[in-house]
């Protein structure tokens, strides 16, 4: 298999982040070719090292949550309150292209490394700070995890049904969106620096990233003044568009266009639905959503979800079964695209580690991590040499 060219090859990232939003961001940068060095608190490291369902891995400092987004990185233990460690850290800053952190607003500045000092050390540095609410404003000092942002963003209020909302989305979506937002703007800042030679301070707010990602739920309210409501598995913008009942379980159908609805009725052998005045166009179908769902379920229960998927999807009607996570990771489509990569386990055991990719093919090939996640301080012995190498290349770091 040909190794694709990695667009961030040669870019050096100091990663001071913990848990998810920051590490997810730097994992995307590592997949894109950046050299990522995790700066971890001596003896403790990233909190995610101790998170996950496998207690033994948590005790060993390689919890499943850590393994998920730290492949291909290096780990160096540095105490920013220690004079010798601070000197090595400053050398690394001088040669870095990116410094990424997700402390509470102002923490790094109180340690002596605010943006003025970082810019003094390296005028071309892209400094990205991810926090719950941003570095400024009345909530800037409030602690925040994904759960907090999901609640404040309004996301939980429209998740579930009228009877069950508010509900948390089933994975840390705000952390993930925050990390993607940071990775996008870091890449943009690096591209801009290639023309100006100047660094940038990126102040990433998870709250703002989440509200931005909510898209139509926000804009529909801003434009129409009508607050969105929880609709369970249904799509507010169209009908039939949601989850329906096949013979063996749930089936998602999104017949958002008139032609798709007509094809669906034809394949279900339900021409009567096309002439029913309740279902003649999009707006009527939305008004009579429950009645339409009941009629469709009567016909869909004749076959399994997989059978309907194989009938409807090739005919142009978006349809697919609702998979569990174990079923999803075994999808042939993901295997065909090379989405997962198998790596050696970092502790040297015979276990195989399987990690996710970034979801993009570059010139037809996936970008894969080059090494397993590091043990805490795995590159400690290389710290001085790494700092010297980075510092020695500082003059050439302006152009990616």
| Gyration radius of the chain over CA positions | 25
Residue 32's Cα: distance from chain center in Å? 15
Q: At what angle do helices 173-196 and 21-31 cross, to 10 degrees?
A: 50
CA distance 253 to 210: 26
- 150: which 2 tokens? 């999901």
State the catalytic residue, choosing from 46, 175, 248, 395.
175
Q: Both tokens of residue 395?
A: 């003059």
- How many Cα atoms within 13 Å fall on the side-chain side of residue 303? 15
CA-closest candidate to residue 88, choices 378, 379, 388: 388
Closest CA to 203 of 130, 295, 311, 301: 130
d(CA 184, CA 189): 9
175 is catalytic: yes
The tokens describing 85, both together, are 């460690």
Contact by Cβ (8 Å): 57, 65: no
Question: Hey, which bits of 196-254 come out as E strands?
Answer: 200-205, 241-245, 250-254
Long-range contacts of 113-121 (CB under 8 A, 24+ apart): 113/80, 113/89, 115/201, 118/93, 119/199, 119/201, 121/90, 121/93, 121/94
Known catalytic residues are 175
């Amino acid at each position: 298999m040909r190794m694709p060219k990695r667009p961030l090859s040669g870019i050096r990232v100091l990663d001071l982040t913990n848990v998810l939003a920051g590490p997810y961001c730097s994992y995307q940068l590592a997949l894109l070719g950046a050299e990522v060095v995790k700066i971890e608190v001596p003896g403790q490291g990233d909190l995610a090292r101790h998170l996950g369902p496998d207690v033994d891995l948590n005790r060993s400092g390689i919890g499943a949550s850590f393994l998920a987004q730290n492949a291909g990185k290096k780990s160096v233990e540095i105490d920013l309150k220690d004079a010798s460690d601070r000197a090595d850290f400053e050398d690394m800053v001088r040669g870095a292209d990116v410094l990424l952190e997700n402390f509470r607003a102002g923490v790094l500045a109180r340690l002596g490394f605010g943006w003025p000092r970082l810019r003094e050390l390296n005028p071309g540095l892209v400094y990205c700070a991810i926090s719950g609410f941003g570095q400024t404003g009345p909530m800037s000092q409030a602690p925040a995890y994904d759960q907090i942002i999901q609640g404040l963003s309004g996301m939980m209020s429209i998740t579930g049904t009228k009877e069950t909302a508010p509900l948390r989305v089933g994975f840390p979506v705000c952390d993930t969106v925050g990390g993607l937002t940071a990775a996008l703007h870091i890449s943009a800042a690096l591209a801009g620096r290639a023309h100006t030679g100047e660094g940038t301070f990126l102040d990433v707010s998870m709250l703002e990233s989440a509200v931005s990602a909510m898209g139509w739920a926000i804009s529909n309210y801003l434009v129409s003044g009508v607050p969105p409501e929880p609709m369970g598995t249904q799509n507010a913008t169209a009908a039939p568009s949601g989850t329906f009942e096949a013979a063996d379980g749930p089936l998602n159908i999104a017949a958002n266009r008139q032609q798709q609805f007509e094809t669906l009725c034809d394949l279900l052998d339900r021409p009567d639905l096309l002439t029913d005045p309740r279902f003649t166009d999009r707006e009527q179908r939305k008004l009579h959503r429950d009645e339409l769902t009941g009629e469709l379920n009567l016909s869909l229960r004749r076959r399994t979800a997989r059978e309907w998927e194989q009938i409807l999807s090739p005919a142009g009607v978006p349809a697919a079964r609702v998979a569990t996570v174990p079923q999803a990771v075994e999808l042939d489509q993901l295997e065909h695209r090379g989405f997962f990569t198998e790596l050696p386990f970092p502790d040297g055991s015979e276990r195989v580690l399987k990690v996710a990719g970034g979801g993009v093919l570059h010139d037809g090939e996936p970008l894969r991590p080059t090494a397993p996640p590091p043990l805490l301080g795995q590159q400690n012995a290389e710290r001085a040499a790494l700092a010297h190498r980075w510092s020695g290349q500082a003059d050439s770091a302006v152009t990616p």
